[in-house]
Amino acid sequence: MKVLKSIKEFKSWRDQRSSLDIGFVPTLGGLHDGHLSLIKESINENKITVVSIFLNPTQFNNESDLETYPSSLPEDLSTLESLDVDLVFTPSREDIYPNGYNYKVLELKNSLVLEGKFRPGHFDGVLTVVMKLLNIVRPGNAYFGKKDYQQYILIKEMVKDFFMDMNIIALETIRETSGLAMSSRNKRLSKQGKERASYIYKTLSQASSDEEARNQLESLGLNVEYITSWMGRRFGAVEIEEVRLIDNVEI
Ligand code: PAF
């Protein structure tokens, strides 16, 4: 497995290959089974799989969320090595934002609801970094999880709107046996917190309305930020033990 740390090194590797051969999984690090399912699918469908690990500061609208984001590069690299990933790209902040954050990708409709409403600027940071990474990697296929369904829709629409020649593929959310959606943030929950968090999925799936879901979660003592139906799915953001968790289900 190759590990390339700069755009310059990546570019000289990339220039000898064709987009059609490359499957790409961008990550913030802190890899879990949700990432692994994307990576395995990419390995199955493409000749070459590239995974990026870049903790993107511009998508964190809260400094402490960025500081407490669980990341462990050595552990992630050994996980990726055991999966037989071809290349891991770990650029620096200076490489990705050489002139600071002066240019941004802004979306003015779907980025302003749900997560965008509660985390102002979050999707500007996501779309900007994904645009940069897709332009560097130039894959044929790029993989995203449905746990971040709004992010997936925004990226898919951006790629279509800017005539970027690649496929954006979404895969199902991977869950623990309790139903809790896999997330790097779960590592920060206590055993009890994890048990309480398992009600998010159950409630989103079983409640007959958004209001009923909110009332049920609040009656369990969970701090609900929003429960909203959008595009045939029910979305929720809930805080437990100061950890913000999101999930969504088809309804
Ligand atoms: O979903 C994520 O992990 C991040 O938002 C992404 C797509 C890697 C961009 O930083």
Q: Which residues of the chain have pLDDT under 70?
A: none
Contact call for residues 198 and 179 (beta carbons, < 8 A): yes
Nearest CA to ligand 1 atom 6: 27
What is the model's pLDDT at position 162?
A: 98
What is the model's pLDDT at position 62?
A: 87
Q: Is 129 in the pocket of ligand 1 (CB under 6 A)?
A: yes
- CATH code assigned to 2-171: 3.40.50.620
Q: State the Cα–Cα distance between residues 81 and 8, nearest whole angstrom.
A: 23
Q: State the Cα–Cα distance between residues 223 and 243, nearest whole angstrom.
A: 10
What is the model's pLDDT at position 241?
A: 96
What is the model's pLDDT at position 217?
A: 98
List all residues 6 or more positions away from 170 whose beta carbon is below 8 Å from its beta carbon.
143, 144, 145, 146, 149, 152, 156
What is the model's pLDDT at position 115?
A: 98
Residue type, 91: P
Fold of 184-245: Pantoate--beta-alanine Ligase; Chain: A,domain 2 (3.30.1300)
Nearest CA to ligand 1 atom 9: 126
What is the model's pLDDT at position 70?
A: 84
What is the model's pLDDT at position 71?
A: 83
Contact call for residues 236 and 200 (beta carbons, < 8 A): yes
Q: State the Cα–Cα distance between residues 202 and 155, nearest whole angstrom.
A: 28
What is the model's pLDDT at position 50?
A: 98
> Annotated catalytic sites, by residue?
35
**Which residues on neighbouring strands pair with residue 72, listed in sequence order?**
none
Which tens digits make up the pLDDT trace of 180-216? 999 999 999 999 999 999 999 999 999 999 999 999 9
Torsion 154-155-160-161 (CA) sign: positive
The preferred substitution site among 31, 50, 130 for testing ligand 1, maximizing ligand atoms within 8 Å of CB, is 130
Domain spans, the chain: 2-171, 184-245
What is the model's pLDDT at position 209?
A: 98
Residue type, 149: Y
> What is the distance in A from the centroid of ligand 1 to the CA of 26?
6
